[in-house]
Homo-oligomer: A and B are copies of this chain.
Amino acid sequence: MKALVTGAAGFIGSNLVDRLLARGDEVVAYDNFSTGNRQFLAEALKSPKCRLVEGDVLDGDTLGAAMRGADIAFHLAANADVRFGTEHPQKDLDQNTIATFRVLEAMRHAGVKRIAFSSTGSIYGDATVFPTPEDAPFPVQTSLYGASKLAGEGMISAYCEGYGFSAWIFRFVSILGERYTHGHVFDFYKRLLADPTHLHVLGNGKQRKSYLYVHDCIDAIFTAIQSGERGGVEGKAGIFNLGTAEYCEVTDSIGWITGALGLTPRLTFAGGDRGWIGDSPFILLDCARMRKLGWAPTLTIREGIMRTLAYLRANPWVLEART
């Protein structure tokens, strides 16, 4: 198939591009390099089956032209910065909500009717059911990021109903692994490099989070799309949680990271049960819907964190390259 990938130079996007090429698919890699990294696409672009289009998802014309002839759009481009939403509220609106609308419109005009979308477990806000299933009680949003992804999901579903699109919407936990460029492992490692004796932790360190290894994430995406069950059927949106069946506390993660680095930093805590405004103190998704399709993650959270740390240690340039 021919796939267009937005956010193709990002962490998940570039891994997805590599996997598509490995499957023999043709890829249009779309990115504006605002946060994406050219090096992540360096190998992919050696393939004659991969074409780079440098453009912004908000630029409907460029996007529409890039989209032509594609069988499916993987819309991964996003402002993935959950934490600083309240510092620039328009960013989530522009880069997530409006950008998703532009993708949908570009698809409609180009006649592309299949979309896979990276949503987030953050849309469950302060969930009341754990593990949280896709049809959990209608949540109240706590972050602008979650709200903007919810808006994206809503439009995608309405396009399925209204224009006969097919969609796979994936509500990710935090994704870990090679090319990881933001998140707690990145932050902790970078700060420990600067000061190995002390680590300041947002919240009380008891926040419980689930994580998933990026290749497990991509396996799930392909499994869902190939299954044809929910989504894949014209006019339907299939919604899938994607995570591991376990969670860890922030302090667990710190223990694994500092252990691997051979450090024993003094820990201080900002306090409170949330890392930041709108943070969900507990994220654990019920992934039964995805598992029913035969998918299961291959790495535990600890293994995912260790791989991520190993990647960062082997690629020190990533720490500096981050925008």
Additional A-B contacts beyond A134-B138, A140-B239 (8; CB < 8 A): A93-B98, A97-B151, A136-B137, A137-B137, A141-B158, A144-B158, A147-B154, A158-B278
Shortest distance between the CB of A275 and any CB in chain B (Å): 14
Alpha-carbon distance between A134 and B139 when the two chains are bound, in angstroms: 9
Q: List 7 A-B contacts (CB under 8 A).
A: A85-B158, A89-B108, A93-B97, A143-B161, A146-B154, A151-B151, A162-B277
Contacts of A136 in B (CB 8 A): 137-138
The reply on A105 being an interface residue by CB < 8 A is yes
Q: A residues bordering B, Cβ < 8 Å?
A: 85-86, 89-90, 93, 97-98, 101, 104-105, 108, 125, 134-144, 146-148, 150-151, 153-155, 157-159, 161-163, 237, 239, 277-278
**Most chain B CB within a 10 A radius of its CB, from A101, A105, A138, A154:** A154
**Complex copy number for this chain:** 2
Among B89, B93, B101, which residue has its beta carbon within 8 angstroms of that of A90? B101
Chain B contacts for A108, CB-based, 8 A: 89
Enumerate chain B residues within 8 angstroms of A150, measured Cβ to Cβ: 150-151, 154
Report the minimum CB–CB distance from A184 to chain B (whole Å): 20
**A217 and B151 alpha carbons, distance in the complex (Å):** 26
CB of A142 within 8 A of CB of B161, answer yes
Pick the contact of A237 from B140, B239, B277 — CB < 8 Å?
A: B140
Q: Are B162 and A155 within 8 A (Cβ)?
A: no
Contacts of A90 on B, CB cut-off 8 Å?
Answer: 101, 105
User: What residues on B are CB-neighbors of A144 within 8 Å?
Assistant: 155, 158-159, 162
Chain B hits for A85, CB < 8 A = 158, 162
Instruction: Report the bound CA distance from A194 to B140 in whole Å.
Output: 46
Cβ of A104 to closest chain B Cβ, rounded Å = 8
Nearest CB in chain B to that of A145: its residue:
B158
For A148, the chain B residues whose CB sits under 8 A away are 154-155
- Beta-carbon contact of A137 and B138 below 8 Å: yes
Do residues A138 and B135 form an inter-chain contact, with CB atoms below 8 A? yes
Given contacts A98-B93, A105-B89, A136-B137, contact A278 B161 (CB under 8 A): yes
Determine if A154 and B138 form an interchain contact, defined as CB atoms under 8 angstroms apart.
Answer: no
- A85, A137, A141, A144: residue with the most chain B Cβ atoms closer than 10 Å: A141
Are B125's CB and A157's CB within 8 A?
yes
- How far, in angstroms, from A151 to B161 measured CA to CA in the complex? 17
Q: Report how far A238 CA is from B13 CA in the complex, Å.
A: 37
Interfacial chain B residues near A141, Cβ < 8 Å? 153-155, 157-158, 161
Residues of B within 8 A of A105 (CB): 89-90
A158 partner, pick from B147, B163, B237, beta carbons under 8 A: B147
CB distance from A108 to the nearest CB of B (A): 8
Contact call A158/B146, Cβ cutoff below 8 A? yes
- Inter-subunit contact B157/A147 (CB<8 Å): yes
Looking at A89, A108, A137, A139, which has the most chain B CB atoms within 10 Å of its CB? A89
CA distance A287 to B277 in the complex (A): 31
